[in-house]
């Protein structure tokens, strides 16, 4: 991974923003239902197509994994993992909480992450060893730092809706965290995790995620001083779920989330 990879990821995010914003709030936006019953819009597909074109031109030897077009190429130990629109349901309803997620995985390690949310006027990015940063709505950039909160009663917790929590075996843990924390909100999707990196939220958890939902978030959270894993402490990308914390609270949160709901 080089500085050029981060620069490329940011350039890709610029191009993705242009594609997604060109169809955001369009009254004639085309929406279809995928076999897994989740929605996909013409903007999702157009955005991923644009990203893949740029990668084919700039990094022809790298692999690509994307939500809409699957896996392609890759024999060099490098893979780009992309979600053209994280938060498609928000996008198609006109809710501005959605983003494009771009990550670079190298020899199994996530090295670069970019989350670009143009409807919010925000962007977050990180490269391993170089820190995590955000661009605010006024265009200024600042370095991210996770919070220093050490007690659950002082913590702010953001989570996805309750779907899949029971399936993950964490329904009881969700209720315990809600009851234990100072403040709870369901910001959901990428936003919960980047707010952990900002220090605005102390804990975020989602029970069911695909690799493209979280790959870009891993460098952003970790480079801010936080920690992100699956519910059992294993890598989030292979565990298909994500717990982000400021680091200080991580073991406490994992212990709570591993409570067995069958004991209720």
| Helix, coil or strand: residue 219 | helix
Look at residue 262 in the predicted model and tell me its pLDDT. 44
- Determine the structural domain holding residue 71 and report its residue range: 3-143
Q: Do 132 and 195 reside in the same domain of the chain? A: no
Q: Do 196 and 176 reside in the same domain of the chain? A: yes
Q: Which residues contact 60 (CB under 8 A, 6 or more apart)?
A: 73
End residue of a domain, out of 109, 143, 177: 143
Q: Do 22 and 136 reside in the same domain of the chain? A: yes
When divided into structural domains, the chain yields a total of 2
Tokens (6 digits) for 38: 């989740």
Distance (Å, rounded) from C-alpha 257 to C-alpha 164? 13
Q: Is the distance from CB of 158 to CB of 217 less than 8 angstroms?
A: no
Distance (Å, rounded) from C-alpha 221 to C-alpha 96? 22
Distance (Å, rounded) from C-alpha 176 to C-alpha 163? 16
| Helix, coil or strand: residue 72 | strand
Tell me the CATH number at 201: 3.40.190.80
Look at residue 1 in the predicted model and tell me its pLDDT. 55
End residue of a domain, out of 124, 143, 162: 143
Q: Do 88 and 170 reside in the same domain of the chain? A: no
Q: pLDDT tens-digit profile of 125-184?
A: 999 999 999 999 999 999 999 999 999 999 999 998 777 787 777 788 888 999 999 999
Q: Do 197 and 110 reside in the same domain of the chain? A: no
Look at residue 79 in the predicted model and tell me its pLDDT. 95
Helices (H), the chain: 3-23, 42-58, 88-93, 165-168, 171-180, 189-198, 211-214, 217-223, 236-239, 250-257
Q: Do 95 and 157 reside in the same domain of the chain? A: no
Tell me the CATH number at 37: 3.30.540.10
Look at residue 263 in the predicted model and tell me its pLDDT. 44
Look at residue 157 in the predicted model and tell me its pLDDT. 97
Q: Do 24 and 125 reside in the same domain of the chain? A: yes
Q: Do 100 and 175 reside in the same domain of the chain? A: no
Q: Do 156 and 131 reside in the same domain of the chain? A: no
Q: Do 139 and 8 reside in the same domain of the chain? A: yes
Residues of the chain with pLDDT under 50: 261-264
Look at residue 264 in the predicted model and tell me its pLDDT. 45
Total residues belonging to the chain: 264
Tokens (6 digits) for 39: 């929605």
| Helix, coil or strand: residue 233 | coil
| Helix, coil or strand: residue 163 | coil
End residue of a domain, out of 120, 143, 166: 143
Q: Do 50 and 181 reside in the same domain of the chain? A: no
Residue 157 backbone dihedrals phi, psi, to 5 degrees: -120, 125
Distance (Å, rounded) from C-alpha 155 to C-alpha 180? 9
Look at residue 222 in the predicted model and tell me its pLDDT. 98
For 200-229, letters b (16+ CB in 10 Å) and e give ebbbbbbbebebbbbbbbbbbbbbbbbbbb
Q: Do 129 and 162 reside in the same domain of the chain? A: no
Q: Say what the pTM is.
A: 0.94
């Amino acid at each position: 991974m080089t500085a050029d990879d981060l620069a490329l990821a940011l350039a890709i995010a610029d191009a993705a923003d242009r594609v997604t914003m060109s169809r955001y709030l369009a009254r004639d936006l085309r929406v279809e239902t995928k076999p897994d019953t989740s929605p996909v819009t013409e903007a999702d597909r157009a955005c991923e197509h644009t990203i893949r074109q740029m990668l084919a031109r700039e990094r022809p030897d790298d692999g690509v994994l994307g939500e809409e077009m699957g896996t392609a190429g890759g024999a060099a130990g490098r893979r780009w993992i992309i979600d053209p629109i994280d938060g498609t349901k928000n996008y198609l309803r006109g809710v501005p909480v959605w983003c494009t997620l771009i990550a670079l995985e190298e020899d199994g390690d996530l090295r670069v992450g970019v989350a670009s949310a143009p409807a919010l006027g925000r962007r977050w990015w990180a490269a391993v060893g170089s820190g995590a940063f955000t661009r605010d709505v006024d265009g200024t950039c600042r370095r991210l730092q996770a919070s220093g909160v050490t007690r659950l009663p002082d913590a702010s917790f953001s989570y996805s809706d309750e779907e899949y929590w029971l399936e993950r075996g964490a329904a009881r843990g969700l209720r315990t965290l809600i009851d234990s924390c100072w403040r709870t909100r369901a910001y959901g999707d990428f936003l919960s995790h980047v707010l952990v990196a900002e220090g605005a939220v102390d804990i975020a958890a989602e029970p069911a995620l695909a690799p493209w939902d979280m790959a870009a978030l891993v460098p952003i959270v970790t480079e801010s001083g936080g920690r992100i894993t699956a519910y059992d402490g294993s890598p989030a990308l292979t565990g298909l779920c994500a717990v982000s914390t400021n680091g200080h609270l991580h073991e406490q949160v994992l212990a709570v989330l591993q409570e067995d709901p069958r004991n209720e």
